[in-house]
Amino acid sequence: MLKAKGLDKKYGRQTVLQQASLEVNSEIKALIGINGSGKSTFLKIVAGIVNPDGGQVLINQRDVTGLPPEFRHVGYVPQHPALFQHLTVKDNVLYGLRKDAKTEYTKVIEMLGLQDVLHKRPHELSGGYKSRASLARALVPQPQILLMDEPLTGMDVVLKERILPDFRRVLKELQVPVLYITHDPKEAELLSDSYAVIDNGKIHSVDTWKEAFDMIHTSILQAYSC
């Protein structure tokens, strides 16, 4: 579904990604890394928001490296719900939607339990409902892959533990491949099928969230010892 091969990225003299490669098939894959490890840059390159200095991005075996975001058929859920404050939840989710996607809209709204807040505006919603609305807007156009960039940042642990299993149920039922960015291995465990760690701009596959935690813990200790 997604194959990123040998991605390089520098900002000035700072190397952010070094030959970063990752595959996401029919799964929810968590990419785990500490702040500043390059995980958001990697995601934005896949989405087409940032251009790489080298490497390729393929989605369903199609090279999309040089394509703008609107031609990639990628869903993107940012760190903070980017909802239009002057629009209702319904209008936010339907914004820019093709007419032939209305059936998917009804299905996603019901699955995420948004029926009772469709008339409300973002400032009237709890953090959990804002996250659900943001996810709905990304899912309704039926993307070929969904990218989630730490979408529950700032949410308390109790709410995360309640909302993540709901997200997982919806994503698995819709059979959408997902790349989920997080700095929290425990959060990754609640949502994901497989795991990778990004450290110093390089990506390593790991078997469990605990292995990811150990790798990140080692990276933090090394950073503080320098």
- Span 175-214, pLDDT tens digits: 999 999 998 888 899 999 999 999 989 999 999 888 988 8
Euclidean distance between CA atoms 45 and 169, whole angstroms: 27
pLDDT for res 159: 87
- Span 133-186, pLDDT tens digits: 999 999 999 999 999 999 988 788 888 888 999 999 999 999 999 999 998 888
Q: Answer positive or negative: Cα dihedral of 124, 106, 141, 162.
A: positive
Euclidean distance between CA atoms 74 and 138, whole angstroms: 8
- pLDDT-derived band at 84 (thresholds 50, 70, 90) equals very high
Q: How far apart are the first and last CA of the chain?
A: 39
pLDDT for res 61: 94
* Domain boundary assignment for the chain: 1-20+47-72, 73-183, 194-226
Classified as helix, coil or strand, 211 is helix
pTM of this prediction exceeds 0.75: yes
pLDDT for res 178: 97
Classified as helix, coil or strand, 172 is helix
Percent of the chain with pLDDT over 70: 94
Q: DSSP string covering 46-81, please?
A: HHTSS--SEEEEEETTEE-TTS-GGGTTEEEE-SS-
| Eight-state DSSP code of residue 122 | G
Between 127-139 and 157-174, two packed helices, what is the crossing angle to 10 degrees?
Answer: 20
pLDDT for res 185: 84
**Burial (Cβ within 10 Å: 0-12, 13-18, ≥19) of residue 110:** exposed
Q: What is the CATH number of domain 73-183?
A: 3.40.50.300
Residue tagged 């799964």 (tokens): 27
Percent of the chain with pLDDT over 90: 70
- Span 16-29, pLDDT tens digits: 999 999 999 999 99
